[in-house]
Amino acid sequence: MREIVLDTETTGFNTEDGHKIVEIGAIEVINRLPTGRSYHQYINPEREIDASAIRVHGITNEKVSGMPIFSDIAQDFFDFIAGDPIVAHNAQFDVRFLNHELNLADFDTMPNEVVDTLAIAREQFPGSQVSLDALCRLFEVDLSDRTFHGALLDAQLLAAVYLELTGGQQPILSLDDDADDDGVDSSKYKKTLARAPRGFSASAEELAAHQAFIDKIQGNMW
C-alpha cells in the first residue's frame, strides 16, 4: 500500500484572504516503510508573505521570488501523489490550500483519501498536547534539526509519528514474491518464520549428567 505523508507552508492562514502555498514537502511510504522517495518544492506565491508566517517557517519573500509558480509545478505534484492516500497533520489546512491552488491552476481537486494524524492523536490522547512537536517528543522522534517549520522536514517527522500512532514500523511483506505489487523489494527483509537450530552439541559431561538424571526417574517414558 502506497501512502503520501505531506506538509505545506503558506503565506498566511486563510485562503479566503488570498494566502497561498510557498513550500510543499511529501514523503512516499509503501507498506509502512518510507522508501526514501520524496517531493519537495519551494513556490513563488506571487504575493507578500505575512510576517507572522515568516516567524513560523522562516521562508522570506526573497527566498521564493525566483521559484516557479504553482501552476508550473502542479502536474509534477499531481503525478507524485498519484491518487494515493494522503497523510497530514491538521489535514484540512493542507488540503484546503492545495485544492485552492489546484483550482487556480485549472486542475481538479485532489481525489485522494485523506488521513488526519491530528484527529488520530486526539482520539488516542484526549486532553493531551498533540502538536507535531509534542508527538515527536512522546514517540522520541529526533527534533534537533527543527529550528523552523519546514514542509519536507515536517513531512519526514510526521511519517515517523504516523507509523507510531498506527502501530509502529511493521512492513507488510509477501512470502511468495521478492517484489510486491507496489514495486518494493521485500527480499531485503527477513522472511524467517521459525528459529534456526542451535549450532552446538552437548558435551560428554552434560550427556552423562542428563542420563544420570533420567535414570533416577521411575516409570519414565524415555
Residue identified by cell 517549520 is: 149
CB atoms within 10 A of CB 183: 9
Q: Which residues are catalytic?
A: 149
**How far is residue 52's CA from residue 186's CA, in Å, rounded to a whole number?**
45
User: What is the secondary structure of the chain as a DSSP string?
Assistant: -EEEEEEEEESSS-GGGT--EEEEEEEEEETTEEEEEEEEEE---SSPPPHHHHHHH---HHHHTTSPPHHHHHHHHHHHHTT--EEETTHHHHHHHHHHHHHHTT-PPP---EEEHHHHHHHHSTTS--SHHHHHHHTT---TT-SS--HHHHHHHHHHHHHHHTT-S-----SS-SB-TT--BGGGS----SPPPPS----HHHHHHHHHHHHHSTT---
